[in-house]
Amino acid sequence: MVKAAKIKELKGIGEKTEKLFQKIGVNTVGDLIRYYPRSYDVYEEAVPISELEEGRVMTVTGAIYGRVQVGGTPRMQVTTLYVKDLTGTLKVIWFRMPFLRNTLAEGGVITLRGRIGVRGGGAVMEHPEIFYPSAKYEEKRGTLQPVYTLTAGLTNNAVIKAVKQALDHLDLTSESLPPEIRLKYSLAEYNYALKEIHFPEDKESFYHARNRLVFEEFLEFILALRKLKDGSDQLKNEYVMEVHPKIEEFIEKLPFALTGAQKKVWGEIAKDMSSDTVMSRLVQGDVGSGKTIVAVLALMNAALNGYQGAMMAPTEVLARQHYESITQYFEDYGIPIKTVLLTGSMTAKEKRRAYDRIECGLAKIIIGTHALIQNAVNYDNLALVITDEQHRFGVKQREIFAGKGSAPHVLVMSATPIPRTLAIILYGDLDLSVIDELPANRLPVKNCVVDTGYRKTAYNFMKKQIAEGRQCYVICPMVEESESLEAENVTDYACALQEELGEGIVVDYLHGKMKQKEKDAIMDRFSRRESHVLVSTTVIEVGIDVPNAAVMLIENSERFGLAQLHQLRGRVGRGKHQSYCIFMSGSKAKETRERLDILNRTNDGFKIAGEDLRLRGPGDLFGIRQSGLMNFKIADVYQDAKILQQANEAADWLVRTNHEWLKKLPKYEEPSSVII
């Protein structure tokens, strides 16, 4: 079987299952073997009940104490069991599983594996896996079972079966990396890596396999970037723009003074736009540092010089917010520049009208989403393209955007703080500018790290803030109930929170499985103050700017990387009101407390990114969510910083020696840039 074979050629995959696989982006056998697990269930040694830790998935073995009890309501039956060992007693709960009463006998020895919670001062295990008799656990002990990202109707077992079949029948791929590189960096052979990433024999073989695949992904990415840079390095500037006098007038009229960092970066952009070669620049700035106004100055300058400028945002809500703030600026200061908005959800009539204005050159500034790079859009004289939140767009998308004009200037914006050493590699085709100063009128966010016992107090604090006219976010790390009943499920959480806060407060919820139109409508409602609390997954990390939102509560904060927590925190503290971020942790481990306390001590994203880099260890792959930065399939910029630097070294060597392998370099396949 070849990689290009359709997924339906695998035994047991019919038309219905094929469609489910297509929903997760798996169309071919090649797609399937590169559909890596998102995490692993690690079946470790059972521990005494007295050593159970809240928030962790753990295993216990003990005797069933007393009878199995079934209570609750007909719709939600709760089965309760007590398990005892020499060190203590554990309460165990299952939902909608009353039949257990007939299968578990008093006094029998049982092994259970599940997440530990605390209720009424005692440890509780909810909805654990059951190994009865307990000897059955020995078969799984020490193994790592893959857990895949799923869609409704597709089970983890179905993916496991399909992957096993694909790996068993696939024509083995010959080794692709040069032997010198494999030897220097101790990299696993490709076929071994592919098998072990899906079904690792143990942790050691998993790390060995993962390092190989991460290295290769980084190497191909870096070489693709260098190719892009080689193509644009010497491009002659066809749109030479001096700074228009109206720009300085506009800056003077602004109700706030630009920071020194903003002035410096604007100076670098202005110099690029008037130089002999085309601008390719990244502006990196922490959340709230004021990157948008710098982008506005660049767009204005292009328009005042008679050209078009376009800015692409990752979500419709963010695109609309940019459009509204720019048009408001122009109205307030009497600047006669025609600006249009173009997004996917606009009606066909609205789109046609926008297309016409763009093509005839009437629209000088165009703000939108991916709609800006569709085939139907023809620009008149596009001289500047800006991508906002660059890590949400891929290299290819940026290339397509730039291709809409004849070698336009390229400006890339990112609020994701990445240590400079890594940024230089990741954005190798761009010159780097940093806005490292916050506007003077911004009040720093007040932070606190608390355990789950603080939840009631947090809710009361939110009520008080809402009564004063503010709004709140609550972030939950997971949306699929199947992942863990203890992981705060967005929809269930929102219902429970609505009940807790009362009828006078409107609670909305948001998660990545919703259609984009639905997400935009909910975010729009929140930005218009029609809802008071937004319960969400990390989908709001990018794409919503609500100055009135003053409180953020992050549940299970121990499950995120520090840099991602900082990005989430950046959604508050954007207005004139004092803002607060509550990091709630379900873990009492000392390491977790120390890690989260870094967020307590500083609001500086670059310091936090550096600490995140320093603190991440290989064990975190089994607990903390990856950053999602750059949307790599398996690599993680923070987790794999060392491998990124090694891949960069290898790329240098390959290019310097003009290695034969470069001619056979597989075409770089960019991961999906869909926001989850």
Distance from C-alpha of 1 to C-alpha of 9, rounded to nearest angstrom: 9
- Number of helices (H), then strands (E), belonging to the chain: the values are 21, 21
pLDDT band at residue 276 using 50, 70 and 90 as cut-offs: very high
pLDDT of residue 477: 73
H helix or E strand, kind and range, residue 132: none
Q: Which two tokens stand for residue 255?
A: 């109700």
pLDDT band at residue 586 using 50, 70 and 90 as cut-offs: confident
Distance from C-alpha of 444 to C-alpha of 436, rounded to nearest angstrom: 15
Strands 308-312 and 365-368, sheet pairing: parallel
pLDDT of residue 95: 86
pLDDT of residue 483: 40
Q: Which residue stretches of 126-259 are H helix? A: 156-169, 179-184, 190-198, 203-232, 245-253
Residue for token digits 């199995």? 68
Mean pLDDT, to the nearest integer, of 538-550?
Answer: 76
Distance from C-alpha of 282 to C-alpha of 225, rounded to nearest angstrom: 14
Distance from C-alpha of 446 to C-alpha of 581, rounded to nearest angstrom: 6
Per the DSSP assignment, residues forming a β-bridge with 447 are 581
Q: Which CATH architecture has domain 1-40+151-171?
A: Orthogonal Bundle (1.10)
Going by C-beta distance under 8 Å and a sequence separation of 6 or more, which residues neighbour residue 518?
none
Distance from C-alpha of 220 to C-alpha of 225, rounded to nearest angstrom: 9
Going by C-beta distance under 8 Å and a sequence separation of 6 or more, which residues neighbour residue 422?
613, 637, 641, 644, 645
- CA-nearest of 395, 579, 496, 432 to 568 is 579
From the CB of residue 226, how many other CB atoms can be counted at a distance below 10 Å? 16
Q: Which two tokens stand for residue 408?
A: 């336009």
Q: What is the pLDDT of residues 496-531, one digit of tens each?
A: 899 999 989 999 998 777 777 788 788 889 989 999
Distance from C-alpha of 90 to C-alpha of 119, rounded to nearest angstrom: 11
Q: Which amino acid is at 615?
A: L
Q: What is the pLDDT of residues 608-643, one digit of tens each?
A: 877 877 776 555 555 555 555 666 888 888 788 899
CATH T-level fold of 44-141: OB fold (Dihydrolipoamide Acetyltransferase, E2P) (2.40.50)
Strand order across the beta sheet in which 339-342 lies: 339-342, 365-368, 308-312, 382-387, 409-414, 280-285, 431-435
- Distances in Å between the Cα of 467 and the Cα atoms of 116, 359, 447, 501, 645 are 35, 49, 21, 11, 50
Phi-psi region of 26 (alpha: psi -120 to 50; beta: other; left: phi over 0): beta
pLDDT of residue 143: 82
Q: What is the pLDDT of residues 41-56, one digit of tens each?
A: 888 899 999 999 877 8
pLDDT of residue 197: 95
Query: What pTM was computed for the model?
Result: 0.73
The answer on pLDDT for 540 being more than 80 is no
Distance from C-alpha of 487 to C-alpha of 149, rounded to nearest angstrom: 16
What is the signed CA dihedral for 330, 333, 335, 336, rounded to 10 degrees? 80
- Distances in Å between the Cα of 448 and the Cα atoms of 359, 445, 597, 656 are 52, 10, 8, 50
Q: Which amino acid is at 590?
A: K
- Measured over the CA atoms of residue 414, residue 415, residue 417 and residue 420, the dihedral's sign is positive
Lowest pLDDT segment from 13-17, 109-113, 188-192, 567-571: 567-571
Q: Which amino acid is at 470?
A: R
Distance from C-alpha of 239 to C-alpha of 242, rounded to nearest angstrom: 10
3-state secondary structure of 402: helix
Q: Which CATH number fits domain 446-602: 3.40.50.300, 3.40.50.410, 3.80.10.10, 3.30.43.10?
A: 3.40.50.300
Distance from C-alpha of 94 to C-alpha of 327, rounded to nearest angstrom: 55
- Measured over the CA atoms of residue 54, residue 60, residue 64 and residue 70, the dihedral's sign is positive
pLDDT of residue 664: 75
pLDDT band at residue 425 using 50, 70 and 90 as cut-offs: confident
Q: What is 569-631 written as a DSSP string? A: HTTSS-SSS--EEEEEES---HHHHHHHHHHHH---HHHHHHHHHHH--GGGGGTSPP--GGG
pLDDT of residue 117: 83
- Inter-axis angle of helices 291-304 and 316-332, nearest 10: 60
pLDDT of residue 318: 84
pLDDT of residue 676: 22
Q: Which two tokens stand for residue 201?
A: 């024999």
Three-class SS string for 33-74? HCCCCCEEEECCCCCCHHHCCCCCEEEEEEEEEEEEEEEECC
Q: Which two tokens stand for residue 145?
A: 């079972």
**Residue 184 backbone dihedrals phi, psi, to 5 degrees:** -60, -40
Going by C-beta distance under 8 Å and a sequence separation of 6 or more, which residues neighbour residue 446?
578, 579, 580, 581
Mean pLDDT, to the nearest integer, of 571-593?
Answer: 86
**Domain ranges (residues) in the chain:** 1-40+151-171, 44-141, 446-602
Distance from C-alpha of 313 to C-alpha of 298, rounded to nearest angstrom: 16
End-to-end CA distance of the chain: 32
Distance from C-alpha of 265 to C-alpha of 294, rounded to nearest angstrom: 8
Distance from C-alpha of 197 to C-alpha of 205, rounded to nearest angstrom: 8
How many residues in the chain? 676
The answer on pLDDT for 228 being more than 90 is no
- Measured over the CA atoms of residue 414, residue 440, residue 300 and residue 338, the dihedral's sign is positive
Distance from C-alpha of 536 to C-alpha of 434, rounded to nearest angstrom: 30
Q: What is 259-292 written as a DSSP string? A: PHHHHHHHHHHHHHHTSSB--EEEEEE-TTS-HH
Lowest pLDDT segment from 12-16, 250-254, 541-545, 549-553: 541-545
- Inter-axis angle of helices 190-198 and 156-169, nearest 10: 160
- Angle at CA of residue 389, ends 528 and 361, nearest 5°: 80
pLDDT of residue 488: 43
Per the DSSP assignment, residues forming a β-bridge with 64 are 83
As a whole-number percent, the residues of the chain with pLDDT over 90 amount to 47
pLDDT band at residue 674 using 50, 70 and 90 as cut-offs: very low
Mean pLDDT, to the nearest integer, of 253-273?
Answer: 94
Which DSSP symbol is given to 376?
Answer: T
